[in-house]
Chains A and B, each alone.
Chain A
Amino acid sequence: MRERIADIYGRLYLIRRVEETIADIYPTDKVRSPIHLSLGQEAIAAGVCAALRPDDMVFGSYRGHATYLAKGGDLNSMMAELFGKATGCTKGRGGSMHLADRDAGVMATSAIVGSTIANAAGYAFGLRSRGSDAVVVSFFGDGATEEGVFYETLNWAALRRLPMLFVCENNSYAIHTHISRRQATQRLVERVRTFGIEATGIDDGDVLRIATEAEAAACALREGQGPRLLECATYRLREHVGPGEDWALGYRSVREALPWIEKDQVDRLGEMLDLPERSGIQERVDAAIADALAFAEESPFPAAGDLWNDVFA
């Protein structure tokens, strides 16, 4: 149990501190990429990825830093990517919105809402047809559940009983538009069940519950029981894109955020560990971030001629 909490806390704290660090250095213009920070939403990626094996594959969205880090994506090459360096995880081509680390099981993240959901389903089909029992997780936001591709993929994944977990990170906002202004009903779990997909909603952001549900789902997927969906409520603490807070815009209130700040899962899990263990994790993560910043700083920019590489395989 303590080991599990330490593992999840390590992921949570890593995401939290990386995102805060990026926000802190953003004004220097070293990060040459739009950023969609995961601050406040760490628990979903951390909880779900704690339930996965290294050979399981995740697909995510443009708000993908948490997904990448929670699955074990290389921190040095992520930071170098944000700096636009040749050593970046996509060689300075993808930036923040297209992080990928295939070896760590982070296949793709996308700036087109919903598009990786279908890619994840195809990947799940491919894995199974190659005889693997690995599973695929597709992370997406509540906005993606308004895209046709989401429903097309639910249908096909259910039809083919694919080893795929759909994870909806529901932060209630598509940029600045609240879900109540976008969806006639907010009964996603109910809707998804009509496809014959087992679906569970977690509305309190409890990272341990998310991890427990994801473990059960991963087990069921490996046994061939067909796809599942987790809808996890969460709250984005910073602006849609960029490093700052945006309470002054007036489309949402601090009061709405307070319950989420009070039950912050990074603090909560940290407090469940004894101090030496917690400090040990923090020191290890802080050192890794310092190393990654130095690595990104020292790495060269790609040569102009690299533009022409990898257009075709």
Chain B
Amino acid sequence: MTQPRSMTQIEAIREAIWQEMERDDAVVVVGLGVDDPKAILGSTRGLAERFGPDRVMDTPLSEDGMTGACIGMAMAGLRPVHTHIRVDFLMLAMNQIVNVAAKSMHMSGGQQPVPLVVRAVIGRSWGQGAQHSQALHSMFMHVPGLKVVAPATALDAKGALTYAIRDDNPVIFIEHRMLHGFTSAVPPGEVLRGPGMCRVLRQGGDLTLVGISYMVPECLRAAEWLSTVGIECEVLDPVWLSPLDTDGINASVSRTGRLLVADNAWLACGASAEIVASACEALPASHHPVVGRVGFAPTPCPTSPTLEAAFYADAASIAREAFRLVTGEPPDADSGLDMPPEVREFKGPF
């Protein structure tokens, strides 16, 4: 069978790892719980049985030490996929990621490439709280030598992860817990999705709407409602955040004259700031776009459902801000966009 079939993002992630491990015996999967019964939300299920304990390795917690060890493995010719059930844990690994992985290639005069993938999952909903729901992709985008990717669809998750595993550089692969259950058509064979071409998910001439990670489906929902009130959005998913396809985004912005970025993260010094700034830098002053950004409230993430709802950007807040950018006024009608089922129904625990 070579026809694409519908699968969830978590299945697509597992398929990418499985196929790369079959293709190249240098690929190893490392991380706390990668071979346990829950298998990182199912993404590593069956790998240990198929590829053995030397290629699918449970670890001590030791995020700092194990990240350093993965870098050493990469220097020795392995291609580790280091897996973390939450992005927040990467804060314990920042020294190795920023000071070692990102710099080894350049600092060694090209002697030490580090072909490493760091998988990390953003949590959300059901009281995940301040230390289980952060989205820190912009911290990694800041550092030369790292690549950062945050796919939204199952297809792009498979393609981007396959690409990341084959890349000779450290790649931070950002997943979102709410996207794991989303399905899309995915070919059973090789799929490669590298940096360079953002996805145009919907065409429209009034506003360029860039969604990042879990904000992609929320942007699509917002765009659907906006269309009912006469506003047509061009919805883009950059997929790769570093390197970022600024040309693709700016081409759309130069057509629409308006840019709204919805990030699944805080705004300050974030991916949204980078995208807006690069559009303003690239376009002549006479064509500077009207710009806006939506994202997390600038507070730690709370656990109570009412506070959580106030913390997150969603389709409704995206729609409101888009309407305001295009018309100069807030919408007089409620969009009626409410909490999506994946957020409403999520019961964790991971």
* Chain B 8-60 residues near chain A, CB threshold 8 A: 28, 54, 59-60
Cβ–Cβ < 8 Å partners of B64 in chain A: 118, 148-149, 152
Bound together, the chains give a CA A309 to CA B109 distance in angstroms of 9
Bound together, the chains give a CA A119 to CA B104 distance in angstroms of 11
B251 to chain A, nearest CB (A): 24
Contact B107 A90 (CB under 8 A): yes
Q: Known: A115-B95, A122-B70, A312-B145. Contact between A110 and B100, CB under 8 A?
A: yes
Contact A93 B70 (CB under 8 A): no
Contact with B60, one of A88, A107, A152 (Cβ below 8 angstroms): A152
B65 to chain A, nearest CB (A): 3
Contact with A310, one of B54, B77, B106, B115 (Cβ below 8 angstroms): B106
Contact A123 B72 (CB under 8 A): yes
Contact B96 A108 (CB under 8 A): no
Closest A residue to B54 by beta carbon equals: A129
Among A94-102, A264-272, A275-283, A284-292, the stretch that binds chain B is A94-102
Contact B69 A153 (CB under 8 A): yes
B32 to chain A, nearest CB (A): 12
Interface bin, chain A: 35 or more
Contact with A along B95-133 (1 / 0, CB 8 A): 110011000111111111111000000000000000000
Cβ–Cβ < 8 Å partners of A159 in chain B: 60
Cβ–Cβ < 8 Å partners of B145 in chain A: 311-312
Contact B69 A100 (CB under 8 A): no
Bound together, the chains give a CA A117 to CA B96 distance in angstroms of 11
Cβ–Cβ < 8 Å partners of B68 in chain A: 115-119, 121-122, 149, 153
Bound together, the chains give a CA A127 to CA B54 distance in angstroms of 12
Is A156's beta carbon under 8 Å from chain B? yes
Is A304's beta carbon under 8 Å from chain B? no
B31 to chain A, nearest CB (A): 13
Cβ–Cβ < 8 Å partners of A120 in chain B: 72
Is A161's beta carbon under 8 Å from chain B? no
Contact A312 B169 (CB under 8 A): yes
Contact A93 B106 (CB under 8 A): yes
* Chain A 149-167 residues near chain B, CB threshold 8 A: 149, 152-153, 155-156, 159
Is B62's beta carbon under 8 Å from chain A? yes
Contact A156 B109 (CB under 8 A): no
Contact with A122, one of B69, B104, B113, B147 (Cβ below 8 angstroms): B69
Closest B residue to A110 by beta carbon equals: B100
Cβ–Cβ < 8 Å partners of B144 in chain A: 311
Is B260's beta carbon under 8 Å from chain A? no
Contact with A90, one of B54, B67, B75, B111 (Cβ below 8 angstroms): B111
Is B168's beta carbon under 8 Å from chain A? yes
Contact B69 A125 (CB under 8 A): yes
Is B76's beta carbon under 8 Å from chain A? yes
Is A222's beta carbon under 8 Å from chain B? no
Is B291's beta carbon under 8 Å from chain A? no
Contact A98 B107 (CB under 8 A): yes
B21 to chain A, nearest CB (A): 13
Contact B111 A102 (CB under 8 A): yes
Q: Known: A112-B99, A115-B100, A130-B76. Contact between A313 and B70, CB under 8 A?
A: no
Name, among B28, B54, B72, the residue most crowded by chain A CB atoms within 10 Å (CB to CB): B72
Contact B65 A126 (CB under 8 A): no
Contact B105 A310 (CB under 8 A): yes
Closest B residue to A153 by beta carbon equals: B65
A161 to chain B, nearest CB (A): 12
Contact A125 B75 (CB under 8 A): no
Cβ–Cβ < 8 Å partners of B112 in chain A: 100, 102, 107-108
* Chain B 152-187 residues near chain A, CB threshold 8 A: 168-169
Is A91's beta carbon under 8 Å from chain B? yes
Contact with A94, one of B66, B76, B108 (Cβ below 8 angstroms): B108
Contact B96 A118 (CB under 8 A): yes
Closest A residue to B26 by beta carbon equals: A130
Closest B residue to A97 by beta carbon equals: B107
Cβ–Cβ < 8 Å partners of B168 in chain A: 312-313
Contact A149 B109 (CB under 8 A): no
Is A124's beta carbon under 8 Å from chain B? yes
A168 to chain B, nearest CB (A): 17
Bound together, the chains give a CA A124 to CA B68 distance in angstroms of 12
Bound together, the chains give a CA A238 to CA B54 distance in angstroms of 45
Is A211's beta carbon under 8 Å from chain B? no
A-B contact pairs, 5 of them (CB 8 A): A91-B109, A98-B107, A130-B76, A156-B62, A310-B109
Q: Enumerate chain A interface residues (CB-CB to B < 8 A).
A: 59, 88-94, 98, 100-102, 107-108, 110, 112, 115-127, 129-130, 148-149, 152-153, 155-156, 159, 309-313
The 3 A-B pairs with the shortest beta carbon distances in the complex, nearest first, are A122-B72, A118-B68, A126-B76
Q: What 16 additional pairs, Cβ within 8 angstroms, besides A94-B107, A126-B77, A149-B65? A: A90-B108, A116-B68, A118-B68, A121-B72, A122-B68, A122-B70, A122-B73, A122-B75, A129-B28, A129-B78, A156-B62, A156-B69, A310-B109, A311-B106, A312-B168, A313-B113
